[in-house]
Homo-oligomer: A and B are copies of this chain.
Amino acid sequence: MAIDIDVERRFGASVIGAQFTAEAGLTALFGPSGVGKTSLLNMVAGLLRPDRGHIRIGGRTLFDDATDLPPEARRVGYVFQDGRLFPHRRVKANLLYGWRLADPANRWMTLDEAADFLGIGHLLGRWPQSLSGGEAQRVAIGRALLAAPQILLMDEPLSSLDAARRGDIMTVIERIRDELKVPILYVSHDRAEVDRLATQIVEVGK
């Protein structure tokens, strides 16, 4: 089992949680709005502390009663639902932020390759605030991939892209899934996306 997650976290009156195991590949997280998909990804990334449970991915324990790795040690590549680009760095510096910190031996791709398949080569000198919604989304994907993570967390990464661009990026995601064998947790409401990419579907919220 590449992924073994069993977590619970209370928000006021409601409890967010998930319990599932999955093989390597792309696990699509499914569930209505507000059920806790983003919270689950945050727990995997180390940004939100579960009240109890464990998170094991690819043989590594990220969290359990005894362990709580800090986010930087978890080596996740997180494409946030809201982009979350660094406003004080140009697009290029955003893209290279994680790349510079990664062990050169682990890197998957170069800046040029990422800029190329994401179609953002002409945006490298721009400030994030000046980007369109889809442009920012693509930069966010590039930033996560360039950090050479061992798990990918993608929260509706293609939601504001046109069909053609979406297809290009899905091809890359398939390659990451199949060639690099990186486990991927993927949130999407788009049936077509999930049908094409998912090796497994998990319903969040029991």
Q: CB within 8 A of A132: which of B33, B133, B161, B191?
A: B33
- Contact status B165-A160, CB under 8 Å: no
- In the complex the two chains form, is A161's CB within 8 Å of B191's CB? no
Chain A: interface residue count, which band? 20 to 34
In the complex, chain A residues 116-172 whose Cβ is within 8 Å of any chain B Cβ: 131-135, 137-138, 155-156, 159-166
Q: Are B159 and A33 in contact (CB under 8 A)?
A: no
Q: How many copies does the complex hold?
A: 2
A21 at the interface (CB under 8 A from B): no
Q: Is A31 an interface residue (CB 8 A)?
A: yes
Q: Which residues of B contact A31 (CB under 8 A)?
A: 162
A112 to chain B, nearest CB (A): 20
Q: How far apart sit A95 and B191, CA to CA, in the bound complex (Å)?
A: 30
Query: Is the beta-carbon distance between B156 and A33 smaller than 8 angstroms?
Result: no
Q: Point out the residue from B32, B82, B163 that lies within 8 Å of A162, measured CB to CB.
A: B32
A38 within 8 A of partner (CB): yes
Scan residues 56-93 of chain A and give those whose CB is less than 8 A from a CB of chain B: 81-82
Query: How distant is the Cα of A137 from the Cα of B33 in the complex, in angstroms?
Result: 10
Assess A162 versus B189: contact at CB under 8 Å? Given A33-B138, A138-B33.
Answer: yes
A82 contacts across to B, CB distance below 8 A: 82, 133
Contact A160 B189 (CB under 8 A): yes
Contact with B along A6-24 (1 / 0, CB 8 A): 0000000000000000000
Which residues from chain B contact A163 at a C-beta distance below 8 Å? Answer: 189, 191
User: Which residues on B sit within 8 Å (CB–CB) of A164?
Assistant: 32
A104 interface hit (Cβ, 8 Å)? no
- Contacts A33-B138, A138-B33 given; indicate if A133 touches B161 (C-beta within 8 A): no
CA distance A153 to B41 in the complex (A): 32
Chain B hits for A34, CB < 8 A? 131-132, 134-135
Knowing that A33-B138, A34-B132, A38-B132 touch, tell me 8 more A-B residue pairs with CB under 8 angstroms.
A31-B162, A33-B132, A33-B161, A33-B162, A81-B160, A156-B160, A160-B189, A163-B189
